[in-house]
Structure formats: structure tokens, C-alpha cells
């Protein structure tokens, strides 16, 4: 059946009774495609019935479905003309891993970061009013995403308006890891026991008798009244609350959605689903299957990688445990990224000093500020892209008060398959302009550990930013030693034409390029404060300084070098290599780097083409090296 569904209009031609079989096929398709190609898994298995029901009940794309985060929108992609492209998802030139407006008219809003759906859908609902149109706007948001302040800002606004807005709360009692917070407990109470099952029964009875339109509307009203729980949080906020209902009963979902369409104003439908539904290993451990690399569907095993050197994330996780054992003042904070940020061991070894605050980056940072005010030493483990959410808190609550908070900024630079929404390309630019901050970028795993230790010793806000995945492959030293702040280290002495100033993780690429160009290579280590002494020395002894970073060139570490050279009146040619002023589409990280000319070959070519005729460049006796991925 699935083969005949190219667009939702085909789906809407099916009998209602055919939908369960279609859902089974869709789930099979998903199992096959994600186990082969990798991607987000558990959440998509949980939204199969919901997706079918939404496209069946609503007139998409005229009616607007707005998916929150978008990691659960694979069934939506499959039903909206992209089924045959699913094996390309998250790969270079393939489908994006999240809804994307440029990809399909059914993707009404670009996503990747969480908790934006209610605001965006409300915007669309208000636009309908302004334009005199009457389409529906439906936000589909998970219980994890509902832990973010933004969701409540939107509810607060919407509940005060008469907008044609439906919010579907897809509650699977999981964020990536088990969901946290008082709201989780509240939702569990709503889902619990008799209340849920008795409403399901009454709902089914009322809806199964709905025949004529007038009868349907009457029954709908009666039934919906029965489903409303007066006094729920959502009711208090001006929403009509319906549910909870079983989010895997596709026919019931269609009935309820059809009926919800007849009602006016802000409505919230609470559905209960299971993350990983239909694949036993994922049902048992939805967290392990949240996002997967290709794996064997029969055994559930993910193919193991060749080398077992630690990732930067693991280096951080180990350091955090070691540091916590040494210093009781250390507390660790994550905004809902326990696994991704490498905090599992810490959470188990130091449960009293571990805080998962939910998807609440802003709160995470101000919480850290409060803890630091009282003499504790908070470490905020956060992805670069999600730290963007908490910029004001970092500046206003931490940095102005010069509080010693350590920001362990993971996924800095290009991140590969998640694409532009998740790239950490801007942190050096937005951190280095904040007074009081010390900003470090390790070139290898050991340096990462030593920098974290250094950061922890300092009495000011600090950031250590490191990339996704593995680095050079070296094992960090067990001992920890504070590094001299603002001091660079020379890696290679070259001829006196070119000096490459490396900021961060592109050490292998920089080394290979330096060999090829016979360039001096300096690992700058600190983006702030800069090692001005070495900059002066290099500017006076070399013809060309090449700055290299996996951050946006605009405002990044290279810009810091330019500012200093200008201020010091040092006349030397400078070439800034880093990420261009465009969004880099999803691909493997190595492919993205190559596309930006930040692999060894690209660096050499840029230097040669930019300065080949103007300065003396070291003669190469060997061919330009190809970049070899770790």
C-alpha cells in the first residue's frame, strides 16, 4: 500500500480501516531505511500513527503541520513525496534530517532546535487571521520539548488569543534520556490510571456513533466536554485540553483530530506514545536508539568502529569525574544532553552533584551563575549550537559578575549529518567579545583535558570548545596540569615565509599543510587572551600569517589576530581560513571541511592561489597530501 502513497492526497483516498495496515508498512519501511543508513530512530517509530492520522485528517499542505525539533518527522517525509530518497537522508546532497522549507512545501517550518513549534504555528495561525484565510495550524511537540521556556512563552501568548491553533503534545515520557522536571510528574499524573482508561472508552463510544454532520458536531461537543479535564495547567493557560488518548490507535486519532477541527480557539491534544514503538530493542532502551549509525536490525547491534581512542566528549566525561573526585565544589549541569555531552558516568558517580535541567539552556546557565555565587564550581556541559540559546545568560548573569563558570562547549565547528541547525560555527565569535571570558580551543585530546583543568582553576568565566567525534587519536595524560593562560606553543619551525596559526582541532590538517608549504606551525591554544608576544614575533619574522579555525571567519579567532596586528601597527600579510559566511549543508564532517577548503589540500591550495605569486612559498618535493580521516 505504501508504494501507492506518494503524497497525502493518496493517503486521504484510503478507507479509515486501511490505516492500521498502512502504519505497519510505514514502520517496516522505517526500520529498514534507518537501520541501513542511520539517523534518528526511536522518535520516528513513535510517530508513525500520529503522522498518518494528521495527514489523513488535515488538508496538508494547506493546513500547516509544524514539527518540533523535527527528529521525529521521517514518517512525514516518507508520506510527502520523499519516500524514495529516504536512503539519502543526512548524507551529502541527500535529504536533510529535519524538516526544511526548501525541501518540501509540506515542511512548513525549518527545525533542529527544540521547542519552537508552538510559536511558529501560532504565527501561522495569526497570519491566517490577518489574511482572512481559514487553514489550520498544528504544532506537534514532545514532552521533552515542553520542558523549555519557549514553549510556555508561546502557550502564554496563544492562550490569550482566539487563534486557530492546535497543539498536539506527543508524550512518550522521554526526552533523549528519561524526561525530567515537575511537568513530567504532572503529565504522568494526567496519564495515570482510571482517568486515562475511562476517557478512552467514553471517547470511543461517542465517536463510533458519529454519522451525520449535525450529530457529529453534537456528539463531538459532548465527547470533547467529557475529555476536558477542568483545571489542567493547559486549561488555566487558556487552552482547551483534550486527552490523554492512545497515540498508536490511528483510527481513534483520526476521529479525535476530525472532531478537534470543528472546535474553535487554542486546543491542546495530549497523546501517549511509546518511543521506539515496534522494535523491541528500541522499546526497551529508547535512549540508546535515539540516534543511530547503521546497525543490524536482527541483532540490534551497531557496527563497531575500528579504533577505540576516546572522543572529545569522552575525554570531557572522564575529566569531569576525575575533577569531581578531587574537588567537592564541582557540580555538573546539562540541558537534557546527558549522553551526548558525556555525563553518564558523572551522573552515576556523583548523583547529588549532577543536574539535568531539561531542554532549558537559559536556565542551565543562570542556575550555574547562582551556584557559583555561593562558592560552588559549576561546569555547564553544552553543545555549541545550544549555547546560542543562552547567550544573554552567559553575558548578563555569568560574565558581567565575573563568576567562575566553566563552559564545556561540545560539538564546536562542523558536526556533519545534523547540518546547519546543529553546527557550532559561531561560538568563538560570540564568546571572545565577552569581557572577562577566557576562551580555549584544544588541538588534541590531551590538550582538551589540560584546558578543562586550567579552566577549572581560574576565577573567571571560561570556555573550552571542542568538536564532535575523535581528534588526533592520542590518549590524554592521567595527570592534570594548569597551562599558562594566553600562551601558544610552536609545533613546527618552517622557513620564514609562512606561519600557520592554528586555533583548535584542525591539527592534522594544519600539520600536513605546514609540511607541504614548509610553514611554521603554531598552536595558539587561547583565542582569548591571545598570545600577543608570539604574534608580534611571527609578524616580524614571516611574510604571511595564515590563521586557521573551524569557526566562522567573521568575528572568529582570525579576526582577533587581525585586530591585534592592526592595533599594534604590525604590517604583515594575513590570510584568515575558517568557515565561510554561508550555512554548510549536512554531509560527513570531513566532506564539509573539504567543501570549505579546510582539509590539508584546501589549505595548501588557498595559500598557493592567494599568495603564490607574491611571496616565497616553500618548494614541495612530494605531492600534495590527501586528508586522511581519523
18 among annotated binding-site residues = no
**Would you state the cell numbers that stand for residue 196, as one nine-digit string?**
486515562
573 among annotated binding-site residues = no
Pick 101 or 205: Cβ nearer ligand DXP = 101
112 among annotated binding-site residues = yes
Taking the complex as a whole, how short is the minimal distance between the CB of residue 46 and ligand DXP, in angstroms?
14
DSSP string, 260-308: HHTS-S-EEEEEE--TTTT-HHHHH-TTTTSEE-SB-TTT-PBPPPS--
Nearest CA-CA partner of 629 in 305, 340, 314: 305
255 among annotated binding-site residues = no
| Residue whose grid cell is 618548494 | 619
Binds 336: which of Mg ion, ligand DXP, ligand TPP, none (CB < 5-8 Å by kind) = ligand TPP
Contact by Cβ (8 Å): 242, 256 = yes
133-169: string of b/e by CB count within 10 Å (b at 16+)? Answer: eebbbbbbbbbbbbbbebbbebbebbbeeebbbbbbb
Sequence-separated (6 or more) residues with CB below 8 Å from residue 162? 264, 265, 266
First to last CA, the chain: 44
Distance CA 294, CA 302 (A): 6
510 among annotated binding-site residues = no
Tell me, residue by residue from 464 to 493, as one string, x for binding to ligand DXP by CB under 6 A and - for no binding.
----x-------------------------
Sequence-separated (6 or more) residues with CB below 8 Å from residue 151? 115, 118, 141, 145
Q: Which residue is nearest to ligand DXP (CB)?
A: 340
Q: Is 389 a catalytic residue?
A: yes
> CA 214 → CA 171, 210, 211, 219, 260, distances in Å?
32, 9, 9, 8, 15
Contact by Cβ (8 Å): 422, 429 = no
Strand partners, 544: 498, 573
Of 184, 255, 411, 511, the residue at the interface with ligand DXP (CB under 6 A) is 411
Pick 397 or 418: Cβ nearer ligand DXP = 418
**Would you state the cell numbers that stand for residue 201, as one nine-digit string?**
472508552
**What angle, rounded to 10 degrees, do the helices at 250-261 and 213-227 form?**
100
Binds 359: which of ligand DXP, ligand TPP, Mg ion, none (CB < 5-8 Å by kind) = ligand TPP
Window contacting ligand DXP (CB under 6 A); options: 232-240, 280-288, 411-419, 537-545:
411-419
Pick 170 or 454: Cβ nearer ligand TPP = 170
Contact by Cβ (8 Å): 252, 245 = yes
> Of residues 275, 353, 511, 528, which has the active-site annotation?
275
Distance CA 455, CA 610 (A): 37
Opening angle at CA 228, ends 223 and 230, nearest 5: 145
Of 181, 340, 419, 461, the residue at the interface with ligand DXP (CB under 6 A) is 340
Which residues of the chain form contacts with Mg ion (CB under 5 A)? 142-144, 172, 174
63 among annotated binding-site residues = no
Taking the complex as a whole, how short is the minimal distance between the CB of residue 55 and Mg ion, in angstroms?
21
Taking the complex as a whole, how short is the minimal distance between the CB of residue 146 and ligand TPP, in angstroms?
7
Q: What's the Rg (C-alpha) of the chain?
A: 27
Pick 171 or 418: Cβ nearer ligand DXP = 418
Taking the complex as a whole, how short is the minimal distance between the CB of residue 5 and ligand DXP, in angstroms?
26
Taking the complex as a whole, how short is the minimal distance between the CB of residue 269 and Mg ion, in angstroms?
15
| Residue whose grid cell is 599558562 | 484
Taking the complex as a whole, how short is the minimal distance between the CB of residue 463 and ligand TPP, in angstroms?
18
145 among annotated binding-site residues = yes
Residue 428 burial by CB count (10 A; 0-12/13-18/19+): exposed, middle or buried? buried
Taking the complex as a whole, how short is the minimal distance between the CB of residue 145 and ligand TPP, in angstroms?
3
Distance CA 453, CA 541 (A): 33
> Of residues 361, 447, 509, 590, which has the active-site annotation?
361
Q: Is 275 a catalytic residue?
A: yes
113 part of the interface to ligand TPP, by CB under 6 A: yes
> Of residues 389, 465, 468, 511, which has the active-site annotation?
389
Pick 260 or 390: Cβ nearer ligand TPP = 390
Distance CA 258, CA 236 (A): 24
Taking the complex as a whole, how short is the minimal distance between the CB of residue 14 and Mg ion, in angstroms?
28
Pick 410 or 531: Cβ nearer ligand TPP = 410
71 among annotated binding-site residues = yes
114 part of the interface to ligand TPP, by CB under 6 A: yes
Nearest CA-CA partner of 441 in 410, 464, 422: 464
71 part of the interface to ligand TPP, by CB under 6 A: yes
Taking the complex as a whole, how short is the minimal distance between the CB of residue 288 and ligand TPP, in angstroms?
13
387 part of the interface to ligand TPP, by CB under 6 A: no
Distance CA 403, CA 150 (A): 26
Distance CA 297, CA 305 (A): 17
Residue 351 is classified by DSSP as: G
Tell me, residue by residue from 331 to 370, as one string, x for binding to ligand TPP by CB under 6 A and - for no binding.
-----x----------------------x-----------
**What angle, rounded to 10 degrees, do the helices at 48-57 and 19-37 form?**
130
Of 27, 55, 64, 71, the residue at the interface with ligand DXP (CB under 6 A) is 71
98 part of the interface to ligand TPP, by CB under 6 A: no
Tell me, residue by residue from 261 to 300, as one string, x for binding to ligand TPP by CB under 6 A and - for no binding.
--------------x-------------------------
Detail the residues annotated as belonging to a binding site for Mg(2+). Answer: 143, 172
Detail the residues annotated as belonging to a binding site for thiamine diphosphate. Answer: 71, 112-114, 144-145, 172, 279, 361
* Interacting residue ranges for ligand TPP, rule: CB under 6 A: 43, 69, 71-72, 113-114, 142-145, 172, 174-176, 275, 336, 359, 386, 389
Residues catalogued as catalytic: 275, 361, 389
Amino acid at each position: 500500500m505504501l508504494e501507492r502513497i506518494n503524497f497525502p492526497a493518496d493517503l486521504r483516498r484510503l478507507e479509515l480501516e486501511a490505516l492500521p495496515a498502512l502504519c505497519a508498512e510505514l514502520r517496516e519501511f522505517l526500520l529498514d531505511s534507518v537501520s541501513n543508513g542511520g539517523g534518528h530512530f526511536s522518535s520516528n517509530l513513535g510517530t508513525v500513527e500520529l503522522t498518518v492520522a494528521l495527514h489523513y485528517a488535515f488538508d496538508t499542505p494547506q493546513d500547516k503541520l509544524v514539527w518540533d525539533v523535527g527528529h521525529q518527522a521521517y514518517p512525514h517525509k516518507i508520506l510527502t513525496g520523499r519516500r524514495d530518497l529516504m536512503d539519502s537522508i543526512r548524507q551529502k546532497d541527500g535529504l536533510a534530517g529535519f524538516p526544511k522549507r526548501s525541501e518540501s512545501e509540506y515542511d512548513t517550518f525549518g527545525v533542529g532546535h527544540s521547542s519552537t513549534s508552538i510559536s511558529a504555528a501560532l504565527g501561522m495561525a495569526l497570519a491566517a487571521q490577518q489574511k482572512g484565510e481559514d487553514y489550520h495550524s498544528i504544532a506537534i511537540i514532545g514532552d521533552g520539548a515542553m520542558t523549555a521556556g519557549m514553549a510556555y512563552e508561546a502557550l502564554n501568548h496563544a492562550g490569550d488569543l482566539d487563534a486557530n491553533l492546535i497543539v498536539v503534545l506527543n508524550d512518550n515520557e522521554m526526552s533523549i534520556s528519561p524526561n525530567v522536571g515537575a511537568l513530567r510528574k504532572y503529565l504522568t499524573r494526567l496519564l495515570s490510571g482510571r482517568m486515562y482508561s475511562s476517557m478512552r472508552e467514553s471517547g470511543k463510544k461517542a465517536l463510533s456513533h458519529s454519522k451525520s454532520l449535525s450529530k457529529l458536531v453534537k456528539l463531538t461537543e459532548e465527547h470533547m466536554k467529557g475529555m476536558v479535564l477542568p483545571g489542567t495547567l493547559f486549561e488555566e493557560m487558556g487552552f482547551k485540553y483534550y486527552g490523554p488518548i492512545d497515540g498508536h490507535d490511528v483510527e481513534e486519532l483520526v476521529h479525535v483530530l476530525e472532531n478537534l477541527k470543528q472546535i474553535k480557539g487554542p486546543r491542546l491534544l495530549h497523546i501517549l506514545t511509546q518511543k521506539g514503538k515496534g522494535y523491541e530493542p528500541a522499546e526497551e532502551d529508547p535512549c540508546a536508539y535515539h540516534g543511530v549509525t547503521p546497525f543490524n536490525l536482527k541483532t540490534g547491534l551497531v557496527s563497531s568502529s575500528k579504533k577505540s581512542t576516546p572522543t572529545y566528549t569522552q575525554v570531557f566525561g572522564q575529566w569531569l569525574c576525575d575533577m569531581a573526585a578531587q574537588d567537592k565544589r564541582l557540580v555538573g549541569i546539562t540541558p537534557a544532553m546527558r549522553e551526548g555531552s558525556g555525563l553518564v558516568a558523572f551522573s552515576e558517580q556523583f548523583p547529588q552533584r549532577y543536574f539535568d535541567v531539561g531542554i532549558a539552556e537559559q536556565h542551565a546557565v543562570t542556575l550555574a551563575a547562582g551556584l557559583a555565587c555561593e562558592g560552588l564550581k559549576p561546569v555547564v556541559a553544552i553543545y555549541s549550537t545550544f549555547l546560542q540559546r543562552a547567550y544573554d545568560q552567559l553575558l548578563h548573569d555569568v560574565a558581567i559578575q565575573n563568576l567562575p563558570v566553566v563552559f564545556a562547549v561540545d560539538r564546536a565547528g562542523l558536526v556533519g549529518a545534523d547540518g546547519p541547525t546543529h553546527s557550532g560555527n559561531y561560538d568563538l565569535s560570540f564568546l571572545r567579545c565577552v569581557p572577562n571570558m577566557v576562551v580555549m580551543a584544544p588541538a588534541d585530546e590531551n590538550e582538551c583535558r589540560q584546558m578543562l583543568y586550567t579552566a577549572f582553576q581560574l576565577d573567571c568565566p571560561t570556555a573550552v570548545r571542542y568538536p564532535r567525534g575523535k581528534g588526533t587519536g592520542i590518549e590524554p595524560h592521567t595527570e592534570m596540569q594548569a597551562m599558562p593562560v594566553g600562551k601558544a606553543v610552536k609545533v613546527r619551525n618552517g622557513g620564514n615565509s609562512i606561519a600557520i596559526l592554528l586555533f583548535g582541532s584542525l591539527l592534522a590538517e594544519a600539520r600536513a599543510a605546514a609540511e607541504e608549504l614548509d610553514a611554521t606551525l603554531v598552536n595558539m591554544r587561547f583565542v582569548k587572551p591571545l598570545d600577543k608576544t608570539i604574534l608580534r614575533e611571527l609578524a616580524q619574522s614571516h611574510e604571511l600569517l595564515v590563521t586557521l579555525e573551524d569557526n566562522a571567519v567573521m568575528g572568529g579567532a582570525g579576526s582577533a589576530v587581525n585586530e591585534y596586528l592592526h592595533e599594534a601597527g604590525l604590517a604583515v600579510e594575513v590570510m584568515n581560513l575558517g568557515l565561510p559566511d554561508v550555512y554548510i549543508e549536512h554531509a560527513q564532517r570531513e566532506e564539509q571541511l573539504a567543501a570549505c577548503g579546510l582539509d590539508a589540500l584546501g589549505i595548501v591550495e588557498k595559500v598557493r592561489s592567494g599568495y603564490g605569486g607574491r611571496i616565497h612559498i616553500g618548494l614541495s618535493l612530494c605531492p600534495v597530501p590527501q586528508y586522511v580521516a581519523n
